[in-house]
Structure 1
Amino acid sequence: MRLLSLCAPALAVAAALGLSTGARAANLGAANAFNGFVFGNLTSHGQDTEGRLAVGGNFTASSYGVGSGGVGPAVPITNPRTDVLVVGGNMNAQGGWQVFNGNAVWGTSLTAAPTTTNGITYQGNPVNFAAAQADLTAKSAAWGALATNASVVFDGYSTLTLTATNAGLNVFNVSESVWEATSNKQIVNSFPNATLLINIAGSDVTQFGGMSYNGSSSPSNNHAGVLFNYPTATTVQTNNIAMLGSLLAPNAALTINGGGINGVGVAASALQQSGGEFHNFTFGGDIPYTPIVPEPGTCVLAGVGLAAIAAKRRAAK
């Protein structure tokens, strides 16, 4: 109570500015509008991204496609046209490939432009990658610290069964050793609107084998509420496995080595090879997120800073 009273002026100013100061339901922010979202560089040898793709660094690919659908739906044609591919650095569409049903946007330089179907190629910066990276890194860390409240059963050999027990948020915490040892990963959910947060610990994570959702590996988007979170990983590799949900690895170099991600894929950098793809499915879950509350001694400074922002905004009008 004393912390709240000391911070009340700062919190009041923040609320007036429309800034978040408490727990709220949250998803993947700016990344939620895309199928693949990479803060740094993306390199691909063939393959595709079935939905929209955002790359904050350089994007180099050959024989590639963006937005055409496949396992998931194609990007719809809109008017005005959607920015289907956004690259913050250099765009190099070497060898020729296509962006379907919208625009291709390059940031700092253009080595080779893709063919655009129902769209154009232009220079711009429609995505704030730095802000998205800060947001998703903080969320990944906070969500990774949540306690398990659902059923995690490892048979000691090859099968891991994760069963939702709540109609709202279900949290599963799985060690790197168990995750990597299991070739049969079963996700069971009988709640239609539940969110399943699967936190995988470890720094270098490899996943392989089969994955099922409610006993079926069907690619239909009934797994929209599933999020695989790797808050401490620096490398994540998928080997010929269909990840039935979205993937959040904000600090990791992601390698999709065969198989695919059936959801939103977020990583620090990425390499696609051997048929590894981003399949166009969304993330529909909601996970509470509480930004860090300042210590009492910093509240006065925070209030002064926020008041200065408010005054500057008023002066600019």
Structure 2
Amino acid sequence: MKTFFRLNYVRLASLILASFSLGLQNQIYAQCNSTVALTVPGNYFGSGFNGNGNFNAIVFGNLHATGGDTEGRLAVAGDFTAPSSYSVGHGSIGAPAPDNTDNFIVNGNFNNANNYSIVGNFIYNTVTAGSQYPTHASGQGTNIGPITNRLAFGTLKTNYVNLSTTLAAITTTGTVVYNDYGNYVDIQLNGTTASTNVFSLTLPTGKTFGLTFNSIPPNSQILVNVTNKIVDINGGSMPDDLRTRMLFNFPLATNISLASYALQAAVLAPSADLSGNGGSINGQAIIGGNVEQTNGFEFHNLCSSFITPTTTPLPVTLTSFSVQKEGIQTSLNWATTAETNSDRFEIQHSVDAKNWNLIGTVIAKGESTVLSNYQFTHSNPANGENYYRLKMIDRDATFAYSRVVEISLDLPSAVSVYPNPVVSQATIETQDWTKVKEVSVINTAGKRFSMSAASGKLDLSNFSSGIYIIQLKQLNGAVSSTKIVKQ
């Protein structure tokens, strides 16, 4: 926790060290670059807004902090509560905030028990009686309020949801290799693209992990699309030398827990709550839900150079895409308002948002300027999580992907495994083995093992204890799965 009035010798030494180790670029742009992907576009500035739209952290829910700080600029759409001290704008790791821009915005209620210092203007709406307003050193801003919508938070959140969807639909260019060593997973991300290397990553749960990036060209960007709905990171490591040009996108996440972990990238999580317990996010952060900061968790003001990649124009203008349950099947519905030279839609299905299977094709209108509705029924969805996307293909074979939609089903399983829990050998029962193409065992980190199941027997004696998914892939692409506990 840093305050303006406690710049002691230890902190001074750390400031000097940071300025050398992080590079001059973080000291040049005190407000960071206004053209990067996560900067607030100018059309979302409210009346009187002062700044270039580049915030260290934007929280669209409430922020509650019993420790930690934001070393750059902070905007909170909901309420802000800090029973102990909390500073804004005092950058010791990275760039300090500008002196007189709108660096701390609370669009809801401000409730603070202790006086603390911020750099820049504090814009507030309502203040709980007895709260102490932040103080400012001479020439470093003032408190301004009551004011609402200094940023257009409602439509701004939609902007970031759409951005996350766009990034998630970009075709993967790199490969990911998971090396599972029991309680630790070594994850190798390999990419050689000169522009933007795009990875689809499923983070392990209940284990620490290390991320290593291999063969990344010096001037290229890195986009990591994380497929997890629930993200639970407790310890581990990732490199910091790629931080300025890397963005972690969490398009499906609803909850993110970071404990004792330094996430070295810009972060886009437009639908997630964040719990930070120690550690930090070292780059811009967009959090769509509530934030809880404990045990010194910090948002560090480290500038990003990540720019939204130029994507191939869609063969169609897709206005909606949804999935819903119909009995033991799922129904996919989508609509377009414009099509030019479009050929077909390939419907792809996954149970882990990482490995995709073609389950059907629907012919497109080809040429259209009116609303066109499409429908597809998946007759064999999996029990549990089901993910779908459209591959929209043009007549010249160019294509683009839609956003991913998902649905969780509680269905009578088409496959059963016993005994459960199992010690070594399990028996698989399914309706028709002649239609089974592949048997796989998937661990909680998303690693898939192709298995032999002669006579319906599955040998799990070499697997470590834990929870696994037994998955049967049919010849027609349908997937059935069930969970099993290995003792």
TM-score, normalised by the number of residues in structure 2: 0.51
Moved over 6 A (4+): none
Confirm or deny: 8 A CA contact 1:194 1:285 kept in the other structure.
no
- What's the offset of the Cα at 1:71? 1.6
**What residue is the counterpart of 1:242 in the other structure?**
262
Higher helix share: 1
1:172 maps to a residue whose letter is: F
Identity of aligned residues (%): 34
Confirm or deny: 8 A CA contact 1:151 1:165 kept in the other structure.
no
**What residue is the counterpart of 1:205 in the other structure?**
231
Confirm or deny: 8 A CA contact 2:94 2:303 kept in the other structure.
no
**What residue is the counterpart of 1:12 in the other structure?**
none
**What residue is the counterpart of 2:110 in the other structure?**
91
The DSSP-based 3-state class of the residue aligned with 2:161 is: helix
- What's the offset of the Cα at 1:190? 3.9
**What residue is the counterpart of 2:196 in the other structure?**
169
The gaps in structure 2 that reach 5 residues or longer are 1-34, 42-52, 320-335, 339-367, 372-487
Separation in structure 1 between the aligned mates of residue 210 and residue 337 of structure 2, nearest angstrom? 49
Specify which of 32, 47, 56 is matched with residue 68 of structure 2.
47
Question: Is the counterpart of residue 151 in structure 1 residue 175 in structure 2?
Answer: yes
1:110 maps to a residue whose letter is: V
Question: Is the counterpart of residue 30 in structure 1 residue 40 in structure 2?
Answer: yes
User: How has the CA–CA distance of structure 1 residues 182 and 150 changed in structure 2, closer, same or farther, with 3 Å as cutoff?
Assistant: farther
Specify which of 51, 54, 70 is matched with residue 92 of structure 2.
70
The DSSP-based 3-state class of the residue aligned with 1:251 is: coil
Bigger drift between 202-211 and 255-264 goes to 202-211
Specify which of 284, 291, 298 is matched with residue 264 of structure 1.
284
User: How has the CA–CA distance of structure 1 residues 279 and 26 changed in structure 2, closer, same or farther, with 3 Å as cutoff?
Assistant: closer
User: How has the CA–CA distance of structure 1 residues 88 and 160 changed in structure 2, closer, same or farther, with 3 Å as cutoff?
Assistant: same
User: How has the CA–CA distance of structure 1 residues 189 and 271 changed in structure 2, closer, same or farther, with 3 Å as cutoff?
Assistant: farther
Separation in structure 2 between the aligned mates of residue 256 and residue 270 of structure 1, nearest angstrom? 8
Question: Is the counterpart of residue 104 in structure 1 residue 122 in structure 2?
Answer: yes
User: How has the CA–CA distance of structure 1 residues 173 and 229 changed in structure 2, closer, same or farther, with 3 Å as cutoff?
Assistant: same
- What's the offset of the Cα at 1:165? 1.3
Specify which of 148, 160, 164 is matched with residue 187 of structure 2.
160
Specify which of 232, 245, 248 is matched with residue 228 of structure 1.
248
- What's the offset of the Cα at 1:180? 5.8
Confirm or deny: 8 A CA contact 1:51 1:73 kept in the other structure.
yes
- Between Structure 1 and Structure 2, how many residues are aligned? 265
TM-score, normalised by the number of residues in structure 1: 0.76
1:94-133 residue pairs with structure 2 within 5 A?
A: 94-100=113-119, 102-107=120-125, 109-111=126-128, 112=131, 113-117=133-137, 118-123=140-145, 124=147, 125-133=149-157
User: How has the CA–CA distance of structure 1 residues 281 and 57 changed in structure 2, closer, same or farther, with 3 Å as cutoff?
Assistant: same
Q: Which has the higher contact order (CA 8 A, sep 6+)?
A: 1
- What's the offset of the Cα at 1:84? 0.9
**What residue is the counterpart of 2:302 in the other structure?**
281
Bigger drift between 229-238 and 31-40 goes to 31-40
Separation in structure 2 between the aligned mates of residue 230 and residue 98 of structure 1, nearest angstrom? 33
Confirm or deny: 8 A CA contact 2:36 2:304 kept in the other structure.
no
Separation in structure 1 between the aligned mates of residue 299 and residue 244 of structure 2, nearest angstrom? 14
- What's the offset of the Cα at 1:187? 3.0
Bigger drift between 260-269 and 184-193 goes to 184-193
Q: Deviations over 1:9-37 (max 9, x none)?
A: xxxxxxxxxxxxxxxx9712418601111
CA RMSD across the alignment: 2.4
2:88 maps to a residue whose letter is: V
- What's the offset of the Cα at 1:163? 3.0
Larger Rg: 2
Confirm or deny: 8 A CA contact 2:251 2:271 kept in the other structure.
yes
- What's the offset of the Cα at 1:134? 0.2
Higher strand share: 2
Separation in structure 1 between the aligned mates of residue 116 and residue 238 of structure 2, nearest angstrom? 33
1:106 maps to a residue whose letter is: Y
The DSSP-based 3-state class of the residue aligned with 1:105 is: strand
